[in-house]
Amino acid sequence: MSSDLPPEGARDARGTARSLMKFPEGDTRRAPFSVTEQAEAAEMLESEDRWHVRNAADMLAVRLQYGRGLSIAKTARMFGIGATFIGKRIHNEKWKPAMSERDRRELARLIWLGGLMRGARESEQSLSALRAASEWRMAAGATGRRWQPKDGNGQPKSMTVHEEISDDAYYTDADPNREEREAMRAKLQAVLDEIEDEAREESEDEAGNESEAGNENDESADAEAEDAEADGDASAAAVGDEGGGGPE
């Protein structure tokens, strides 16, 4: 921490740092974050229709809160937007009232990091609002489910209200959001590939510069050796001339 911060600024900075670490171990929002996670969050900031046009509410957060079991009315009050607007997004984008834990955790991380990137860390009030918006645990009393699994004959299987689809069902025919999930993964992977390509090019450029510098040093050393050899030959010739010019 910078030593020239005023006492008030230092206290604020320490308070903000502590607030970023308040999440328990295992919470997807607990710092620190990998470069990959930060790249994913940065990419998702530019997602189409993510931010509400009137009050810039994060629609990923709206979807998360609905997906963890909050009612449309409660979600609308939480974000200060219309219930009708949320209802239209639910219908048009086929939101489900209870996401799997994996989806909730992934959304929570994207929302939390995205909020920090947009300046939420500047005050405890904004951080508190971001913590609430990125809460991913199922709401008390939530009984919905993401989809109903099928048995080997393709018939619906019984399922308790709190049971969630196991991870091995993702990206299979049992996953109703398979295409959407694969498209998001591909989009994020393209960003990561681009970052890796840029890093590789920078590394290659540095290696090339070092190689060129080494060649220049070798050439300089060779030239110095040739000059020294030429000076030595000249000195020997001069000595020979002086010896040959004496009395007979």
Overall average pLDDT of the 164-191 stretch: 64
Q: Which residues, in sequence order, are bridge partners of residue 150? A: 156
Overall average pLDDT of the 163-186 stretch: 61
Does the pLDDT at position 75 exceed 90? Answer: yes
Q: What is the pLDDT of residues 104-153, one digit of tens each?
A: 999 999 999 999 999 887 788 888 999 999 999 988 766 544 445 556 66
Q: What is the pLDDT of residue 26?
A: 79
Cβ-count burial of 221 within 10 angstroms (0-12 exposed, 13-18 middle, 19+ buried)? exposed
Range in 56-65, 111-120, 182-191, 202-211 with the lowest mean pLDDT:
182-191
**Nearest Cα to 176, choosing from 241, 119, 108, 93?**
93
Overall average pLDDT of the 224-246 stretch: 60
What whole-number distance in Å separates Cα of residue 5 and Cα of residue 13? 9
The tokens for 145 are: 């489910």
Q: How far is CA 27 from CA 36, 104, 136, in A?
A: 17, 11, 9
* Of 205 and 167, the one with more pLDDT: 205
Q: Are 64 and 111 in contact (CB under 8 A)?
A: yes
The tokens for 155 are: 């018939």
Overall average pLDDT of the 201-223 stretch: 74
* Of 12 and 79, the one with more pLDDT: 79
- Residue boundaries of the structural domains of the chain: 11-149+157-176
Q: What angle do CA 163, 164, 165 make, to 5 degrees?
A: 130
What whole-number distance in Å separates Cα of residue 89 and Cα of residue 75? 13
What whole-number distance in Å separates Cα of residue 232 and Cα of residue 79? 86
Distance of CA 75 to the CA centre of its chain: 26
SS3 letters across 128-151: HHHHHHCCCCCCCCCCCCCCCCEC
Q: What is the pLDDT of residue 21?
A: 56
Q: What is the pLDDT of residue 240?
A: 58
How many Cα neighbours within 13 Å face the side chain of 219? 6
Mean pLDDT rounded to a whole number for the chain: 75
SS3 letters across 23-44: CCCCCCCCCCCCHHHHHHHHHH
The helix/strand/coil state of 225 is helix
Under the phi-then-psi rule, with left for phi > 0, alpha for psi from -120 to 50, and beta for the rest, what region is 123? Answer: beta
Reported pTM: 0.53
